[in-house]
Chains A and B, each alone.
Chain A
Amino acid sequence: MKRIFSTDHKVIGRQFLFLGLTFLAVGGVMAMLIRWQLARPGQPVPIVGRLLFSGAGGVISPAAYTSLFTMHGTIMIFFAVTPILIGGFGNFCVPLLIGARDMAFPRLNMLSFWTMAAATATLTSSFFVPLGTAQAGWTAYATLSTAIGAPGAGQTLWTVAIYLNGVSTVMGAVNYITTVVRLRAPGMTWFRLPLTVWGFFLTSILNALFVPVIAAAMVLLFFDRVFGTQFFIAGTTMRAGGDPILYQHMFWLFGHPEVYILILPAWGIVSDLLAFFARKPAFGYRVTVWALIGVVILSCVVYGHHMFTTGMSPLLGESFMLLTMIISVPTSLLFLNWLGTLWRGALRMTTPMLFCVGLVFTFGIGGLTGLYLADIVADQYLHDTYFVVGHFHLIMAAALLMASFAAVYFWFPKMFGRMMSERLGKLHFWPTFLALNVVFGGQLLIGWAGMQRRLYDPSAYDFLKHLLPWNQWISRAAYVLGLAQLVFVWNFFVSLRRGKPAPANPWEVGTLEWTLPSPPPHHNFDTIPTVVRGPHELGSPDARARGKDWLGQDEVLS
């Protein structure tokens, strides 16, 4: 009991990690079912089809397909990436990296996890009600998500699950913010924080500000569904005075920051890890920090670009277009700093490093394709096509997965006291990296050819019929991607049991968690360290004078 309802941030971090990885697998299987339908429309799914779609003889029906893409998005964003990166690594890393014994509010932390568990239970239960689970897409646009388009209880349970997920996230956010502000070790000034901590800190600010907005939207949607209010309902058939567009404003006011909520920890982790494995200080640390802050501020004022086709006022449209484009200034600074970190380094191509470099590559494509969608003229053609799907998967799926894997391979020794296999790690990286790019690059191309999102059978359209072979190749790459993850699962669990015992500092880096034994004791630090330098003092003359190429953040030079 004490282990299950633990208030230790390291245990809670692991709980979040396992929850997130489980749902990552579920969301991944859903993605492959979606790909099956797009490659072989209306044909029975092999192996699992009879079990999952028994009513239709193993064929994915339009209703089942609609549920699949709805829940794939919901699960991946709210129940996989959020718990893995923010709940899992946020919890595990933040106190250790700033030299604290635990989070500021350990019991709130525990409550945050168990609220997330309640959210997952609610979401899972939605599969077993009459009419099945939610079908309105992960964005759940009104009025499709109201009783007009989704009469069943599944959508209501979905609404509750997202609300609970938000409650959990906000509890975590308050905790991270307080922890970073109050519990930094002596000498751990703001500009000596590892960039990972900056990522989690800034993400938490966005979470605390914007998750309440979607929570409010969920409450109003719940009222519309259950109590017959009409906040989001309008139309000629239903005489009602609400506004479906109000929902879109609320959703994207949260939804766009959400992209940065998820990517900021990834950016932080990658900025640190690139420096660690290039054996160089992070290039332009302060510029990176200010760029991250700039992204946070801008992310609050760009959400309108998700609504360019709703007929918004021209002045509003142009403003959102310009604001969106300004985001490319801090992100290009961030990119240039990453390249500056790599340049003239002494790169150690470990598995975490491979995933970081992979992220720089895929995030490059994902970021650049964002420009197409920021431009209203191009967007009126590309909006709601697979180009959008490819673009955000390159960021939300490819880049975030790579950051998550980099984090797992990097901190696994500290979390579990054992090393993961490097050989299997590389065997995991290469097919993952290649398949990700084929899948999401392919989606960009079929989107360019005009294919809309969320079509059960694209060949219903004459102008999309010729895309079938392309969809089949994308699907094959998706299966490869799915299979490659088995290598990771194998590596993870075998290393957990039989991995080589991890030394305190296997990667030879200087942040505080590596001064502790692997895994660290319950209270983390016997004595709270005093920090004397920044996180990336790699290759400095002082270090070389001591016969190594790194200096600990609390290492006093005698």
Chain B
Amino acid sequence: MRLGIPRDVSLDGHLVDGVLGYLTLCTGIAFAVLVVILTVTLLFHRARAGRQANYTHGDGLRARLLTFGVGLTLFVAIDVTLAVRASHHLRERFWNYPDDDPNALRVEVTARQWAWTFRTAGPDGRFGTPDDVVTLGELHVPVGRPIYLKLRSKDVVHSFYLPTFRTKIDAIPGSTTRLWFQAQETGRSEIGCAQHCGVSHYKMRGWLYAAPEDEYRAWLARAEIDSRLRYDPNDVVAQQEGWDW
């Protein structure tokens, strides 16, 4: 009966785990206090012969100071702290996309019912050309480099979900969304679809393979040869995928 958050294998996943930990600490304390107060009233403040309820409307200055004081303290200690922390993480990391990073691996993701296609530019560095490396359901990435995805969908809304990287982003027909992350460990991670996308939504999975840089390059060289062999200039549907970065 194992239960718990999947192991984090990403560069920034620990930031998410840190926020989750803080949330659990704060809400845990708040909930414990709630349970204690409830229990005390339920055990000791019950009606019994001779007991009179304390007649108060709770609208005196002291009562108001108490409720507002506790309410605002909770707000500052939990909400404001979280918002500031989240905002910081978002600006510094999650929403700080590696647009200018020449080292980043750029990948175009096309979602469809019910599969993911991944496309990396070939040696020419441009998307939508015959040397693009296109894989179905498998995303190969090197460890230690930012991976920068841009996502589109061909039919309905999907959501690219990487639990071991603590992240997800929707793929939406008609617009392009983006996501970046970095693998810190080699190995296989499961890719899921998080948005209901039809009857076979549960089958829309894939794998992310993170390999050391040299292994990744070796794989890429083989994949390029395959891609060139498979390229069909008359395949109009396939040409629809792959767009200028």
On A, residues with C-beta under 8 Å from B are 62-63, 66, 135-137, 141-144, 148-149, 233-238, 240-245, 278-287, 309-311, 314, 317-318, 321-322, 325-326, 328-329, 332-333, 335-337, 339-349, 357, 360-361, 364-365, 368-369, 371-372, 374-378, 380-381, 383-385, 445-446, 448-450, 452-458, 460-463, 466-467, 469-470, 538-541, 544, 549
Contacts and interface: CB of A to CB of B under 8 A. Distances in A.
B94 A329 contact: no
Contacts of B173: 143, 233-236, 238, 244
Contact of A236 (B34, B168, B169, B241): B241
Interface in B228-242: 240-241
Nearest to A139: B196
Contact of B37 (A339, A365, A375): A339
Contacts of B102: none
A66 B197 CA distance: 10
B182 interface: no
Contacts of B80: 325
A310 B172 contact: yes
Interface stretch (B49-57, B124-132, B133-141): B49-57
B221 interface: no
A380 B175 contact: no
Contact of A463 (B6, B94, B178): B6
B168 A149 contact: no
A149 B37 CA distance: 50
Interface of B: 1-6, 15-16, 19-20, 23, 26-27, 30-31, 34-35, 37-38, 41-42, 45-48, 51-59, 63-64, 66-68, 70-72, 74-75, 78-80, 82-83, 85-87, 89-91, 94-95, 113, 152-157, 159, 161, 163-164, 166-170, 172-175, 177-178, 190, 192-203, 205, 240-241
B51 A346 contact: yes
Contacts of B161: 384, 452
B200 A62 contact: yes
Contacts of A346: 45-48, 51-53
Q: Which of B54, B55, B163 has the most CB of A within 10 A?
A: B55
B203 to A, nearest CB: 6
A141 B4 contact: no
A342 B47 contact: no
A539 B72 CA distance: 31
B192 A461 contact: yes
B196 A144 contact: yes
A337 B67 contact: yes
A450 B67 contact: no
B16 A452 contact: no
Nearest to A456: B202
A457 B178 CA distance: 28
B67 A345 contact: no
A237 B154 contact: yes
Contacts of A284: 57-59, 63-64, 67
27 contacts: A62-B202, A135-B198, A149-B155, A236-B240, A236-B241, A244-B172, A284-B64, A286-B59, A287-B59, A309-B170, A318-B87, A328-B74, A329-B71, A336-B66, A342-B38, A346-B53, A347-B41, A349-B42, A361-B35, A369-B27, A372-B20, A377-B19, A381-B16, A381-B20, A449-B4, A538-B53, A549-B52
A63 B199 CA distance: 5
Given A284-B67, A342-B41, A321 B86 contact: yes
A311 B172 contact: yes
Contact of A360 (B4, B38, B51): B38
A381 B53 contact: no
A461 B94 contact: no
Nearest to A62: B199
A401 to B, nearest CB: 19
B154 A280 contact: no
B190 A287 contact: no
A141 B94 contact: no
Contacts of A450: 5-6, 163
Contact of A244 (B30, B87, B157): B157
A347 B167 contact: no
Contacts, number: 311
Contact of B41 (A144, A235, A285, A345): A345
A455 B163 contact: no
A280 B53 contact: yes
B49 to A, nearest CB: 10
Given A371-B23, A372-B20, A384-B195, 16 more contacts: A66-B196, A142-B157, A235-B173, A280-B54, A283-B57, A285-B58, A287-B67, A311-B178, A321-B87, A325-B79, A346-B48, A347-B45, A368-B31, A375-B82, A380-B16, A469-B1
Contacts of A148: 155-156
B184 to A, nearest CB: 16
Contacts of A337: 58, 67
A144 to B, nearest CB: 4
A300 to B, nearest CB: 19
Contact of B79 (A283, A317, A371, A463): A371
A346 B174 CA distance: 61
A368 B82 CA distance: 13
B42 A357 contact: yes
Nearest to B55: A539
A377 B6 contact: no
A340 B68 CA distance: 13
Given A332-B71, A455-B201, A348 B168 contact: no
Return the 4 tightest CB-CB contacts between A and B, nearest first: A234-B174, A235-B173, A283-B58, A311-B177
Contacts of A539: 52-55
Contacts of A279: 47, 53
A328 B202 CA distance: 35
A282 B16 CA distance: 41
Nearest to B191: A461
A445 B188 CA distance: 24
B58 A364 contact: no
B9 to A, nearest CB: 12
B55 A541 contact: yes
Nearest to A137: B196
B194 A310 contact: no
Nearest to A369: B27
Given A287-B64, A310-B170, A333-B71, A347 B46 contact: yes
A466 B2 contact: yes
Given A345-B54, A360-B38, A449-B4, A460 B163 contact: no
A457 to B, nearest CB: 5
B215 to A, nearest CB: 22
A461 B205 contact: yes
A332 B68 CA distance: 9
Contacts of B82: 325, 371, 374-375
A309 B169 contact: yes
Nearest to B151: A311
Contacts of A538: 53
A544 B153 CA distance: 70
Contact of A454 (B54, B87, B196): B196
Contacts of A461: 190, 192, 202, 205
